[in-house]
Amino acid sequence: MTVPLYQQIYERVKRQIADGTLAPGQRMPSLRALASELGIARGTAEAAYDRLVGEGWLVARGPAGTFVAYGTHVALRDAAASCRGVTPTLPAHPRLLRLGLPALDAFPRKLWARLVARQARAAGSFDPPEPAGHPPLRTAIAAYLERSRDVACTARQVFVVPAYAAALGLVTEVALRPGDAAWIESPGFPLTAQVLARVGARVVPVPVDEDGLVVAEGVRRARRARLAVVTPSHQSPLGVALGLARRAALLAWARTADAHIVEDDYDGEYRYGGHPLPALQSLDTEGRVIYLGTFSKVLFPGLRLAYAVVPEAKVEAFEAASARSLHAGCPELYQAVVADFLQQGHFARHVKKMRTLYACRREQLTRALAVLEPEGLTVEQRQGGMHLVIRSTRAEPDAELARRAQAAGFAVQALSVWAPDGQGPQGLLAGFTNVATEAEARHLAQRLRKAIVSK
Ligand SMILES: Cc1ncc(COP(=O)(O)O)c(C=O)c1O
């Protein structure tokens, strides 16, 4: 029996996605081009594309064309390998619903490439980096933060570092001695506890409720702590905002205890109902808050650029610490490119565009994940961020659910892993930013359901 032509095309495209010939985000030939290349009717090519789009392998973007969906290749490659009884030799890096990854298909690559090319020719890009950061970038960050996050600071207060861990590491050099207690949120971003433990801090998990960090509990557990690391705009991972009364209580505690607060504003730009909340730093009149931001979420994580905004009174201490830091200095070229991106208004435009896009993608995936409700998994409604929290009432531990999902190519994480004692709420964390279409969302939700219910 001969296989219909449209099916042959369908199979070939899937094979090419699996073996990497077709990369995620790559534009497919137009229907007309494909039909003429293969000498087939346009309707045949259309039938193949329709099925591939319907199953989530391709994404149709109207006049812009049809593209290979993100995250499909790994699942396909692994599925193909296991069908043939072959274990993949490389560890699988599942990407489906991966957390914290911006929408790679919506990144303005041409513009970025143009800015990189221009700066690559500039003499300054070849200079050794300044430990505290490229001065024009420090100035551009200060201006951006004042406009968009109500963070009042001068360029001198901004220190550019290679990613969040380096920013927190720099803070600990100035504000913490081995053995000092430091509050962290529970559940909270696991890297925070790791960085603090590595410098010898006594890490004190403080619970989070609907209003964010339970400050009174922190005071009860470690009144004399020297540091509190919090995510006030959008708690990581639960997504709640730190309430106003809690903000005031936290600042009051820091004043009394002569402690510092690290405000990790990793994705504060992304809030979908109303305006993003002003930063906690904007309420600080006593130089207690050290504000941390990263370009990983708005631009891309491979950039490895983040920053700390430190109180005026601490600038010299941070200058000294960054000069002797083993991690000081980021590539001048990319700092200069990001400075251009900010100064020329591209950053603000990109954030605005992504806010609309993410609101839509978030809604799309939330709707699709309703198929998990009969299985005891419910998406929680939150205002901001780049991921969904799916609460579980299932009998199995969430780590087991995450393991099953990961084996099927998903990069979802177990919520309980984010609590230092593993005793936090049960659920899954799933990124929505790279799920481009309704069809892809539905397809992924069904696959996730199947992966979770099968043992
Ligand atoms: C809470 C939180 N803080 C900080 C970061 C880190 O960003 P970077 O990529 O700069 O290390 C992340 C990234 O996932 C995060 O979730």
Average pLDDT, the chain: 90
Determine the pLDDT at residue 51. Answer: 83
> Does the pTM exceed 0.95?
no
List, for residues 147-165, the tens digit of each pLDDT value: 999 999 999 999 999 999 9
Lowest mean pLDDT among 58-67, 177-186, 289-298, 411-420: 58-67
Lowest mean pLDDT among 8-22, 174-188, 293-307, 411-425: 8-22
Query: Does residue 266 line the site of ligand 1, with CB under 6 A?
Result: yes
Q: What is the topology classification, in CATH, of domain 349-453?
A: Aspartate Aminotransferase, domain 1 (3.90.1150)
Which ranges in the chain are annotated with CATH 3.40.640.10?
Answer: 125-344
Query: Does residue 233 line the site of ligand 1, with CB under 6 A?
Result: no
Which ranges in the chain are annotated with CATH 3.90.1150.10?
Answer: 349-453
Q: Round to whole Å and give the CA distance between 255 and 253.
A: 5
For domain 5-83, which architecture applies? Orthogonal Bundle (1.10)
User: Which atom of ligand 1 sits closest to the CA of residue 231?
Assistant: 1
Say if CB 160 and CB 138 are below 8 A apart. yes
Determine the pLDDT at residue 92. Answer: 38
User: Which atom of ligand 1 sits closest to the CA of residue 294?
Assistant: 10
Distance 266 CA to ligand 1 centre (A): 6
Q: Which residues contact 297 (CB under 8 A, 6 or more apart)?
A: 100, 102, 266, 267, 269, 270, 386
The helix/strand/coil state of 384 is strand
Distance 172 CA to ligand 1 centre (A): 17
Q: Round to whole Å and give the CA distance between 82 and 187.
A: 36
* Structure-derived torsion over alpha carbons of residues 31, 36, 39, 42, reported in degrees to the nearest 10: 30
Query: Does residue 294 line the site of ligand 1, with CB under 6 A?
Result: yes
Q: What is the Cα gyration radius of the chain?
A: 24
78 pLDDT band, cuts 50/70/90, is very low
Kindly list the distances between the CA atom of residue 70 and the CA atoms of 67, 141, 374, 385, in Å, as whole numbers in the listed order: 9, 31, 27, 20
Q: What is the topology classification, in CATH, of domain 125-344?
A: Aspartate Aminotransferase; domain 2 (3.40.640)
Amino acid letter, residue 288: R
Q: Round to whole Å and give the CA distance between 332 and 93.
A: 30
* pLDDT cut 90: percent of the chain above it: 71
Atom 2, ligand 1: which residue's CA is nearest? 266
* Cβ atoms within 10 Å of 30's Cβ, excluding its own: 14
Distance 246 CA to ligand 1 centre (A): 23
Distance 164 CA to ligand 1 centre (A): 6
Would the pLDDT of 86 be above 90?
A: no
User: Which atom of ligand 1 sits closest to the CA of residue 167?
Assistant: 10
Query: Does residue 163 line the site of ligand 1, with CB under 6 A?
Result: yes
List, for residues 393-412, the tens digit of each pLDDT value: 999 999 999 999 999 999 99
Which ranges in the chain are annotated with CATH 1.10.10.10?
Answer: 5-83
Query: Does residue 418 line the site of ligand 1, with CB under 6 A?
Result: no
Distance 188 CA to ligand 1 centre (A): 11
Would the pLDDT of 221 be above 80?
A: yes
Q: What DSSP string runs through 291-354?
A: EEEESTTTT-GGG--EEEE--GGGHHHHHHHHHH-TT----HHHHHHHHHHHHTTHHHHHHHHH
Q: Work out the average pLDDT over 170-194.
A: 97
Say if CB 410 and CB 403 are below 8 A apart. no
